[in-house]
Structures are given as C-alpha cells and as structure tokens.
Amino acid sequence: MPSFPGRLKILNLWVDPVTMGQALDRVVEFVETGDRAHAIFAVNPEKNYSVPKDPMLLESFRSADLLIPDGIGVVLAARFLHHAKLSRVPGVELMGRICRLAAEKGYGVFLFGADEEVSRKAAEVLLERYTGLRLVGRANGYLRDEEMPGLVEQINASGARILFLALGSPRQEHWYATHRDALKTVRVCQGIGGTLDVVAGKVQRAPEIWCRYDAEWLYRLLSEPKRIRRQKVLPVFVAQVILAKMKYLLYGQDKTMRIGA
C-alpha cells in the first residue's frame, strides 16, 4: 500500500498533507485491507535533526505509511515551502480518535510502553472513556531485549489489530523497524511517545485555549523549562526553512524542496 499521496519534503524529513479525518480513513484502510503492520509516526522540527543521524531510523521514517504533522513548526514550514493547506494532527488526539474508532468497529488494541503504573492506569482510563473498547493486552516499556520475542508472541496471540508504542522517540521507531515483520495480526502501529502519561493523568496537556492557537509547545516549555534543550533547534529550523525557500526562488528546484525525495 503506497504512502499518503502528495508527501512533502521538509528539509531532512517528510510529512503527509493529511487531516485528522483522512488519517482515520487511512487507519480503517490499513486494518481492513492491509497485509502487514503499517507505521504511523509523528513529525516535528526536533526530529528533523535527530532522525537523520541514524540510518535505520531515517529509513523507518522514509518508509512509514503515514507521517502526521504533529508539530506546528512542520505545519508552518509546509505552508511556507509548499503552499500546503496543512493543519496539526496531534498524535495524542489521533490516538484517542483511533481508540474511539476501534471501540465502534471492534478492533483489538494493545498498549506497549510507559512504566507499569502508568500503563495500568491508562488502560483503565481508556476502557472507561471508550465504551466497548477491546483492550486485548498491554505491557510496560521496561522489558529487556531478551523478553521481546515473548512480547511479540503475546501481541500476536492477542489478535490485536492496533498497537500503540509508547516508548518515546527514537526507541519506538527502532522497535517497529526491528519487530514489524514478526507482527502477524497488527495492521496499525502508531508511535505515541508520552501519550499514556497524559491519558493516565501523570502529565497534563496544555489547556484548550493554548492548543486552539497552536501554542501547546510554548505551554509545555513554560511548564517544563528543561525542554529548552530540545527546543533550542527551533531557531535553526526556521532559518534553514527560510534558506531553502530562498534557494528555490533564486535557483529553481532544490533537493530540499522535492516532494518525496
């Protein structure tokens, strides 16, 4: 099954010009007609610098079935570079919508990641929030490498069609790249980072007003100042996006502007 049509190149990574509704339609397509585990990864400016350092990780993103515009920086860059009518598809919101969809259609869901307390609490919250959700299994994210074959067997035996990987990036993308071929029943595999912490109430998401105006990143920075170490790449990202646009205007098509390159 091909990647989402019109995939856009944003400096060193890619993003799909997908809406929330289109992403959910794609999930249904993966589950109903797919023959393997299809990857859904989130894209943000920070990953533009971390992912290309690891060839395996870069290939995981290159071949991902759906790359959602999770960060507002990527959305603005896509508008500026490609005139794309893009809006955010936050991974935490997509995960919730997928759970609602799974409850409606009877898809089995498996959770892998976070610590045991968060994993257990998140499972309880999801079952309460989405009536009819078939949560067929879960495992915390502190399993040893030698335990992974057993985990894969557990996932396969559960009959899960949807697997949420809450291992954080890049660990969750590495896990998918390593084990995807061994997943027999899973058709959708979404990397959700710290979303289970939010579901369990351990971490508070930004208030609605901040999300509405695409300032969730600022709220998180103000709430967790240590995030500045991650977000210090943002000015560099902005400068490089502007430079890429200038090169295109001055010299014509540039490799940083090629769609799907």
The reply to whether 118 falls in a domain is yes
pTM score over 0.85:
yes
The pLDDT assigned to 217 comes to 61
Please say if the pLDDT value at position 43 is more than 70: yes
CA dihedral of residues 118, 171, 220, 45 (deg, nearest 10): -160
Cα–Cα distance for residue pair 131/99, rounded to 1 Å:
10
The reply to whether 50 falls in a domain is yes
The reply to whether 222 falls in a domain is no
Domain range for 27 is 8-197
Cα–Cα distance for residue pair 225/228, rounded to 1 Å:
6
Please say if the pLDDT value at position 138 is more than 50: yes
Please say if the pLDDT value at position 235 is more than 90: no
The reply to whether 232 falls in a domain is no
The reply to whether 184 falls in a domain is yes
Please say if the pLDDT value at position 261 is more than 80: no
The reply to whether 173 falls in a domain is yes
pLDDT tens for 197-232 read: 999 999 877 677 766 757 676 666 566 666 556 667
Q: Look up the CATH number of the domain holding residue 79.
A: 3.40.50
The reply to whether 227 falls in a domain is no
Count of all residues that appear for the chain in the document: 261
The total number of structural domains that make up the chain: 1
The reply to whether 252 falls in a domain is no
Cα–Cα distance for residue pair 53/88, rounded to 1 Å:
25
Cα–Cα distance for residue pair 206/160, rounded to 1 Å:
31
